[in-house]
Amino acid sequence: MCVSADPPQPGTFEELAMPLFGQLYNFAHWLAQNREEAEDLVQETYVKALRGFGSFQPGTNFRAWMYRILRNTFLTSRTGLKATMTVPLDETENGHGATVADDQPSQEALLIDRDHQNLLQAAIEELPVQFREVLLLCEVEEMSYQEIADTVGVPIGTVMSRLSRARASLRAGVQQKLGRP
């Protein structure tokens, strides 16, 4: 279930930011798909966030703020630019929770378990970055649709549409890797 993070209490930047370190690194690695780039991304994120901490509005979502900085840093990096340039946006981009033709999980999907973890990870890696990020923010970071919308900077309807298409693409990718039609 996707849940919202509590608004942060005033404290030092370190007190607020370090508990997010592991999660941010994991997300950065999924985006950059490379350890060195992920470390650069996280380091740049912390430096930028520390510099801009004075402009952070207390009471707003600190976690979403940090993820937004990381994501924007990634998108302006060489890897990020390359990743976004190769992903054409679908015309249903702004649909509200749009379902696509292959959005019906088959019973075979039940076979996705720990034995198929590598296969699933490979399928996630192959997702276009716009789909990968919303899927990970929802499923791994357990962000609410609103929090994802704040992080990614798109309307909630777009978040729902991207999530729906990410899941459908993931299922299709898994089926393909399992050698099923």
Partner 1 sequence: MACDQWRAQLDAYLDGELRTEPMRALDAHLRTCPGCAGDALARVQLKRAIKASGARFTPSPEFRNQIQKKIAGKPRRSWNVGWVLATAGLAVVLVAGLLSTYLERQNLRQQQLYSELADLHVSTLASANPVDVVSTDRHTVKPWFQGKVPFTFNLPELQNTDFTLLGGRVTYLGQVPGAHLIYQIRKHQISVFLFPENAVGLRGTSNISKERTFNVDTWTQDGLRYVVFGDVAPEDIRRLSSLLKGTARS
Q: How far is the CB of 179 from partner 1 (least distance, A)?
A: 18
Indicate the residue type of 145. Y
Which C-beta is closer to partner 1: that of 38 or that of 83?
A: 38
Neighbour count for residue 154 (Cβ, 10 Å): 17
Q: How far is the CB of 51 from partner 1 (least distance, A)?
A: 10
Which C-beta is closer to partner 1: that of 49 or that of 83?
A: 49
Which C-beta is closer to partner 1: that of 68 or that of 116?
A: 116
Contact positions vs partner 1 (CB under 8 A): 1-3, 10-14, 17-18, 21-22, 25-26, 29-30, 35, 38-39, 42-43, 46-47, 50, 53-58, 97, 99, 103-107, 109-110, 112-114, 116-117, 120-121, 124, 135-136, 138-140, 144-145, 160, 163-164, 167, 170-171
Q: 46 Cβ partners below 8 Å, 6+ apart? A: 17
Q: Where are the alpha helices (DSSP H) in the chain?
A: 13-17, 21-32, 35-51, 62-75, 78-85, 117-126, 129-139, 145-152, 156-177
Closest CA to 84 of 101, 102, 98, 71: 71
Q: How far is the CB of 13 from partner 1 (least distance, A)?
A: 5
Question: Tokens 């898994």, residue?
Answer: 174
